[in-house]
Amino acid sequence: MVVPFLLIIVGFVMLIKGADFLVNGASSLAKRYNVSDIAIGLTVVAMGTSAPELVVNIISGASGENDDIVFGNIIGSNIFNMFLILGIAAVIYPLTVQKNALWKEVPYSLFATVVLFLLVNDQLIFSAEENALSLIDGFILLGMFVAFLVYVFQNMRRTGDLGGDMDEIEMYGSLKTTLMIVFGIAGLAIGGQVIVDNAITIAEHFKISQKVIGLTILAAGTSLPELATTAVAAFHKKSDLAVGNIVGSNIFNLLLVLGATATLNAPIIYDIDLNLDLYIVMIGTLMLFIFMFTLQKYKLDRAEGALYLVGFVAYCVFLYINRL
């Protein structure tokens, strides 16, 4: 079983480098056509860090046999984002959260999680025969994603170009930009396929459920772009970039990634055992809101970041005891 593990590592390298190429190439293209810095940051870069989740999910959902991986990857990634990555960033440097993000983007992330909970629990809510994310559910999620993008661009027009974080983007020549985008997409597609195939092989060999594989190995791997971006932002004391990356990524995962996956591969059967993990995502989002009014107002302090990390360790222990 050494080969599948090594291939997963290779797949993750291809996935992360593919996302990196795609972000840099797309950012260069946007820069060439005078798209504002803040628009690049809130759209192109945010989508780029969610690209690994999107590719893994579409590939997983295409077969119709890996539904647990589809949901486990997204829910697990959002747990990693909130508890591990945001916790690490806050420990590195206390993060200030803008009032606009606190009162709009954080609640919208929580709202998106609650909507997903309602959409997938058909037996509980609608007394249906099975729990699944349907084609209509996918359209609802994508509609909410479009509404989020509209909010982003309206907010950009109100505040003007607040950028500066994106000033360092390099504009490449036309050929290099095109090649970066092409190779980025290829890296995502091939790397994602390699990861999914070998993760399933490992799960079957060790008799581990695909749900756990999605919540752990795949969630951790596809969250690497968020970890890198957020840690670097924290080291450079760019709080808005660090917090915005996590909250924005969670919204993209829930609405764009699951919405697109359901639209292409519906119905996607949902395991009710994942409700507990969804509750944890909700709790992590609520914690961010509550922490803004404890210790230093509108700031995620190191102690609060440490609480996130403790929560992540507790979650890992729970998975080990109850799911393996």
Question: Structure tokens of 209?
Answer: 């459920």
Which is nearest to 294 in space by CA: 312, 278, 307, 309? 307
C-beta separation of 292 from 285 below 8 A: no
Instruction: Write the burial class of residue 85 (CB in 10 Å: 0-12 exposed, 13-18 middle, 19+ buried).
Output: buried
Radius of gyration of the chain (CA): 19
Dist. CA 283–CA 293, nearest whole Å: 16
Which domains can be identified in the chain, with CATH numbers? 2-322 (1.20.1420.30)
pLDDT at 167: 54
Q: What is the DSSP letter of 206?
A: T
pLDDT at 26: 74
Q: Which residues of the chain have pLDDT under 50?
A: 37-38, 158-166
pLDDT at 62: 75
CA distance readout (Å), 7 to 193, 217, 219: 11, 13, 16
CA-CA-CA-CA torsion sign (147, 149, 152, 156):
negative
pTM (predicted TM-score): 0.82
Dist. CA 218–CA 72, nearest whole Å: 8
Dist. CA 137–CA 134, nearest whole Å: 5
> What are phi and psi for residue 16, nearest 5 degrees?
-70, -45
Dist. CA 302–CA 13, nearest whole Å: 31
State the alpha helices, DSSP H only, in 160-274.
Answer: 174-205, 210-213, 219-222, 224-235, 239-251, 258-265
C-beta separation of 209 from 65 below 8 A: no
Distance of CA 136 to the CA centre of its chain: 22
Residue with tokens 């795949």: 218
